[in-house]
């Protein structure tokens, strides 16, 4: 055994040492982001595995040091007791960095907008009660006038444009407050921060469009799925990649994404509530948004969402439709010649047994207190 530091020169020396020993596979434990530098340096020379720490959990009663952990990791890997985690290739990793950073920037801009609303509430300016979006053309013009020193409610209300002009009376009442220079200073900084974040988001989106160009065909295919747009397709490709051989079946993909219920059984009794668990939250977010959007469409996915939502609730419907979307994605990305075909909103009704449908309707009427007699129409 030898010990190496995590500096680049030391890791390269370790790579040479392992090559001299004819090592073919390197296994490392996932710890925050600290696994990335050694993984990226070694992946070109060895079969590099990144494993889940839960799979190599420390056993009670066994001494624990970093050296002993390395020995234990080597033993369980040698005995084929580990599974490698999914690490996409470098182009997908670069795209993933961009799409995730875009999400973080949008969250930061949203937080800054919320600070603006709180500041206006502190100044007793109730414009957010009247306008649904205070950051539109009219809202920004009114806030700019407040910063410039305008305090007259009539003048501020006259800056409304479009449909907001119909709310002039409410706007005049909303601008009666105690906005002062202190609020103006803070509002100036907050609006500048929002504008800067907006510019950063635009730059990241432009860079993402350049980075996604080689995968434009895959984006176009995913864009055909109801509920998924270009931005959602880019995020999905960044999270799951294009190589579906990493997931032998659609069930492997849905299980990896935690869109399949967990199974826990002991002594013939099922335990737990069948929850899916916590997976990739960036992927879960975009699939959840796609499922809700698909639920508003007159498609197979839309009808599936509405059927499940009526019986099991909206949360379970989102998970179920998200899983269906993942299955579609697996087929579209794994088989280039497979076209997307919507089964249609009447898919379920066309396959319901007629006698079963009659029996269900009769039971519903009987439950309401009616005696039902069926007579076929000649």
d(CA 242, CA 333): 6
Q: Is 271 exposed, middle or buried (0-12, 13-18, 19+ CB in 10 A)?
A: exposed
Closest CA relative to residue 257, chosen from 288, 234, 275, 284 = 284
- What mean pLDDT do residues 285-295 have? 94
Q: Are 278 and 258 in contact (CB under 8 A)?
A: yes
Rounded to two decimals, what is the model's pTM? 0.84
Question: Tens digits of per-residue pLDDT, 143-174?
Answer: 999 999 989 999 999 998 888 888 888 999 99
Residues 6+ apart with CB under 8 A from 120: 126, 127, 128, 134, 179, 183, 187
Are 74 and 51 within 8 A, CB to CB? no
pLDDT beyond 90 at 182: yes
What pLDDT does 250 receive?
92
Helix (H) or strand (E) holding 29: strand 25-29
CA distance 350 to 364: 21
Report yes or no: 226 and 328 within 8 Å, Cβ to Cβ. no
């Amino acid at each position: 055994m030898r010990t190496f530091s995590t500096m680049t020169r030391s890791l390269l020396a370790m790579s040479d040492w392992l090559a001299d020993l004819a090592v073919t596979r390197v296994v490392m434990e996932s710890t925050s982001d600290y696994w990335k530098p050694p993984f990226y340096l070694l992946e070109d020379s060895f079969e590099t595995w990144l494993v889940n720490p839960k799979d190599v959990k420390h056993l009670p009663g066994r001494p624990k040091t970093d050296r002993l952990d390395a020995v234990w990791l080597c033993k369980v890997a040698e005995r084929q007791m580990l599974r490698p985690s999914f690490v996409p290739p470098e182009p997908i990793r670069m795209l993933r960095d961009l799409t995730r950073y875009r999400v973080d920037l949008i969250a930061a801009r949203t937080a800054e907008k919320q600070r603006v609303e709180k500041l206006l509430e502190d100044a007793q300016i109730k414009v957010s009660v009247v306008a649904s979006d205070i950051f539109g053309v009219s809202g920004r013009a009114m806030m700019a006038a407040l910063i410039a020193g305008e305090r007259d409610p009539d003048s501020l209300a006259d800056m409304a444009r479009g449909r907001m002009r119909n709310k002039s009376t409410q706007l005049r009442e909303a601008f009666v407050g105690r906005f002062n220079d202190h609020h103006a200073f803070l509002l100036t900084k907050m609006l500048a921060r929002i504008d800067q974040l907006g510019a950063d988001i635009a730059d990241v989106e432009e860079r993402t469009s350049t980075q996604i160009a080689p995968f434009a065909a895959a984006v176009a295919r995913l864009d055909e799925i109801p509920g998924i747009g270009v931005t959602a397709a880019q995020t999905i490709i960044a999270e799951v990649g294009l190589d579906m051989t990493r997931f032998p079946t659609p069930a492997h993909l849905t299980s990896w994404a935690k869109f399949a219920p967990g199974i826990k059984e002991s002594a013939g009794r099922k335990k737990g509530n069948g929850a899916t668990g916590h997976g990739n939250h960036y992927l879960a977010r975009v699939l959840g948004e796609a499922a809700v959007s698909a639920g508003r469409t007159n498609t197979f996915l839309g009808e599936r969402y509405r059927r499940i939502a009526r019986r099991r609730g909206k949360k379970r419907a989102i998970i179920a439709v998200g899983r269906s979307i993942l299955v579609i994605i697996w087929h579209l990305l794994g088989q280039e010649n497979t076209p997307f075909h919507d089964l249609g909103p009447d898919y379920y009704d066309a396959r319901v047994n007629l006698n079963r449908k009659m029996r269900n309707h009769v039971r519903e009427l009987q439950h309401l207190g009616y005696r039902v007699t069926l007579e076929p129409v000649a």
